[in-house]
Each structure stands twice: as C-alpha cells, then as structure tokens.
Amino acid sequence: MPPLTADFTEALRARLPADVFRSPEPRYFEEPRGRWQGKADLVLAPGETAQVATILAAAHAARVPVVPYGGGTGLVGGQVAQGADGALVLSLERMNRIRAVYPDENVMIAEAGVILADIQAAAERVDRLFPLSLASEGSARIGGNLATNAGGTAVLRYGNARDLCLGLEAVLADGRVWNGLSRLRKDNMGYDLRNLLIGSEGTLGIITAASLKLFARPAGTGTALLVVESPGAALRLLSMARGRFAEGITAFELMSGTGFDFLAEKLPDIRRPFDPAPAWCVLIEVGLARGLDPAQALEDLFAEAAGAGLASDGLIAQSQAQADAFWAVREQIPEANRRIGAVSSHDISVPLSAIPDFIARGAEAIAAIGAFRINCFGHVGDGNLHFNVFPMPGRSRADHDAERGAIKAAVHDLVHDLGGSVSAEHGVGRLKVEDLERYGDPVKLAAMRAIKAALDPHGILNPGAVLRA
C-alpha cells in the first residue's frame, strides 16, 4: 500500500475538527501481553459516525490501512498496527454515549466506545442486567467486545457477545454507513450482516453503535466453591446442577490446584479458600427467581453431590463480600499467570464430553516434550478452557523458547482432533492467522476471503488480522 502522505493528513484536517487528531501515545501501539509493538503514522478519534465515514472514505480512496482501536485489551494482537506501513489508528474512545434505553423492551442503544462496565451500570439503573462480564470490563469497550465476539463468565446462561446484540450501526470500508440498529427480535429480511460483522475484528467494517439485549435481574444470586475429584466429576456435577437449576446457572468455572499455587506465589494477598489447595474445584454461580433461596439451593446441591461422590468439600457464600472474594480468586488467576510467565498459552474449546480426555492427553503431550507446569482453568460450562504451560520453579519462559512451537502444535493438534477450536473467546487477531489457515475448513476460508474482497476490495481494514494481508 502507498505510504500515508502529508497531503492525505492535511485533507483530513480540512474536513474534521481538531479534536479528532490525537497525540500518538504509547497505549495505541501496545497490547497487554507485550508480544508486539505497533506503529502508525496517524491516530484519529472521531466523535460521531459521520466522522468515521469521512475517515474511511478518504482512506479507501488513498489505500491507507486503518487499524481500529477500542479499549486495547485484546490478547491476540488484533488492535496493534504492526507491519501496516503508513497506517492510521482509528480509536472509538470518544464515541462513548448511551443513546437510548428501553427498559420495557429490554434494549439499550450504545455507541462502540462505551466501556463495558458503564453499560452494565446503565442497565442496573433501570433494574435490568447486561450479562457480558470480563476481567477487563473496566476498560474494554463494547465495540471491541462485539468485534471479537467476546465470551466471559456468563456465556453458559446468556451466550457470547453475538447473542447479546440485536442490531448494529457500522461504517464499511468505502465510508458507507449501514444503519442497522434494529430493536427487533424477529427480522428475516435477507442475509444477517450483523452476525457477519460481529467477530470479524474490524476487517469487514467498523462498528460504531449497537442495539444490545437487556435481561431481568435475578431476584437472588448464590455463589459456591466446591472441591471435585477430577474434571470428569466436574462435568457430572454440572449435569446434576442443571437438573436442579435448569437455566438458572450463570457460571460454572473450573480451577486447578496449580492456579492456587500461582496465587500463593505471586499474589499472596488474595485469600485462598482451601489450604492445602485441592487438585480441582469449581466456582458455581446461580441466579434464581423470587421466592427461592440461592444459598440453600447450593447447600442442597452440595449435599447431593457429596452423596454421589462428586464433591468432597465446599464453601457457600453467605454474603456478597464472600461471593466477591470467591470471584477474586478466579479473576486473579490470569494475573498470577502473567507474573509467572507462560511458555505457551492456549484459549481453546472442545465438546463438553471431551474435556476430561483433552486435559489428560494434553498433560501427556506436554510431558513428552519436557518438564513443565500446567495451569488449566476456565469456563468449563461452555467447553472453553485456558490450558497454559509454564516453566518449572527456578526456570523462566525464556529458557524454553525452543520448545514453544512444539508445545503449541501439540495442544492445538489435540484440540483439532477432538473437534474443538483453537480460538475460543479471544479471536484470531494477528496471533492465530496461521492457526486459522492450518485448522480452518478450506471452503470456509475461501468464503471468508471472498467476503473480505467484496466488502474491503483494497484491503485497508485491519490488514493482517484474521486473514493474511
């Protein structure tokens, strides 16, 4: 692509307000894991959809690459303008207005730059729930959540970001605006452009606003930590819980003893609920209707599980503070992982019944490569695990640079053999482009490339993300 010229920049200055042009702060070129250092010749932060359209129309005409930037919390490099010579970064941070709330319809219209936690708070103010919940919700923005089809802890009950969206407003590569902010639950008028753009990571269009689903808030919420013998026992416990609570289960998280050990080593201020740490435990949260006591319901579940040999110990939160403390354990495991330093991290999903087999065979495959620690944890209720490999005590990730490729290939090959996905909730970004080529269905890949060519014929939108530039 031709370089971004002074004439291009000056032409934009003549058409856009001065506050759209931002200082190139380091945050626009960094990502949380420090894998890449991005670059760009221009950073723009439009304040309205018409300004986004102006920018994309000019970039399309001049063949200037555009890298969208939301909250910068993505973990696969989709927001980093690495290798895009003459690129501009398009930040949605100033498009942060909640345009409308319709409590009786359970709908909210929010711009792409609204922080996820602010959407949750706005829903709570009208006694509604927006259930998407992530560790990064204090800085992640809803446009990025939708662009990556974010998952989080409540997918088991409410689904991914895709399932929480009724409609979109988006700007296509040539600057045309799609006005698709529907509040309808039923609309079969042709192809579903909404679901095409959700999960496309800014490669097909720039999401500028969304029509979001809200839900009634559960009358009562209960949280428990239950010790289980194995991942297989955890799955049987999940089935038992579903028999009791049906769709009332909001979260069902699996944690290994390695995660507790890492917390003790790197975050000793986090109170560990069991000492010594169990090999496996699950964090379960339920949201029940009026008239039901969640704490008592969880105690009854534990009694049944203990009688069936599925759970050997358990803690039922008796207050919101205790529930928050349980969740703090789960939510701080990724930070403890970061401080240990992973040799190779894997965000994968497999069919539920394949989880025990994957964990056992994955450990065997890693042991065949060398001596490592594995911290396996995640949203086992929806089949999404984080299977991360770490050096043994006294060694560092740098000591295992030579094994990193073999570890990744062993894990991903196993996932593929079991009918799973090597990108469960973090997207493809730039990190997993080769994985998509290796494991993706060739017909699907051909269709993806055809769609990309049709909607972005000059390849300006987030080049190098999802599909090879």
Whether 201 contacts 186, CB under 8 Å: no
The HSE-up count of residue 134 (CA atoms within 13 Å, CB side) is 29
Of 284, 310, 340, the domain-final residue? 340
CATH at 355: 3.30.70.2740
**Residue 225 lies inside a defined structural domain of this protein:** yes
Length of the chain: 469
The residue whose two tokens read 């911290």 is 375
Residue 455 falls inside a structural domain = no
46 and 32: one domain? Answer: yes
Task: Give domain status of residue 210, yes or no.
Answer: yes
Whether 40 contacts 88, CB under 8 Å: yes
Residue 466 lies in a domain: no
Please tell me the total count of domains within the chain. Answer: 4
Looking at 216, 238, 259, the residue that finishes a domain is: 216
The answer to whether residues 126 and 68 belong to one domain is no
Distances in Å between the Cα of 344 and the Cα atoms of 33, 35, 370 are 12, 12, 13
On whether residue 464 sits in a domain, the answer given is no
Give yes or no: residues 270 and 364 share one domain. no
Q: What is the CATH number of the domain that holds 16?
A: 3.30.43.10
Residue 360 lies in a domain: yes
pLDDT at 85: 61
142 lies in some domain = yes
- Domain with 272, as residue range(s), is 218-340
User: Given this model, what pLDDT does residue 83 score?
Assistant: 59
**454 within a domain of the structure (yes/no):** no
Say whether both 351 and 336 belong to one domain: no
Residues 6 or more apart whose Cβ sits within 8 Å of residue 60: 173, 174, 175, 458, 460
- Specify the pLDDT at position 210: 98
Together in a domain, 170 and 190:
yes
Q: What is the CATH number of the domain that holds 106?
A: 3.30.465.10
Mark 292-328 as b/e (b = at least 16 C-beta within 10 Å).
Answer: bebbebbeebbebbeeeebbeebbbbeeeeebebbbe
Query: Do 81 and 15 share a structural domain?
Result: yes
Backbone angles phi, psi at 340, to 5 degrees: -70, -45
327 and 365 housed in the same domain: no
d(CA 145, CA 427): 10
Three-state DSSP class for 436? helix
The alpha carbon of residue 202 and the mean position of all alpha carbons in its chain are separated, in whole angstroms, by 15
331 and 224 in one domain? yes
Same domain flag for 211 and 230: no
CB-CB contact of 42 with 88 (8 Å): yes
Same domain, 230 and 336: yes
Rg of the chain in Å (alpha carbons) = 23
- The CATH number for 301's domain is 3.30.70.2190
The answer on 270 and 194 residing in a single domain is: no
Q: Cα torsion for 17, 23, 27, 31, to the nearest 10°?
A: 70
Question: Can you give the pLDDT of all 469 residues of the chain as single tens digits?
Answer: 666 888 999 999 999 999 999 998 888 888 877 777 778 889 999 999 999 999 999 999 999 999 999 988 888 888 887 655 678 999 999 999 999 999 999 999 999 999 999 999 999 999 999 999 988 899 999 999 999 999 988 999 999 999 999 999 999 999 999 999 999 999 999 999 999 999 999 999 999 999 999 999 999 999 999 999 999 999 999 999 999 999 999 999 999 999 999 999 999 999 889 989 999 999 999 999 899 999 999 999 999 999 999 999 999 999 999 999 999 999 999 999 999 999 999 999 999 999 999 999 999 999 999 999 999 999 999 999 999 999 999 999 999 999 999 999 999 999 999 999 999 988 999 989 999 999 999 999 999 999 999 999 999 999 999 999 8
One domain, residues 381 and 276: no
In the listed set 201, 216, 231, which residue is the last one of a domain according to the structure? 216
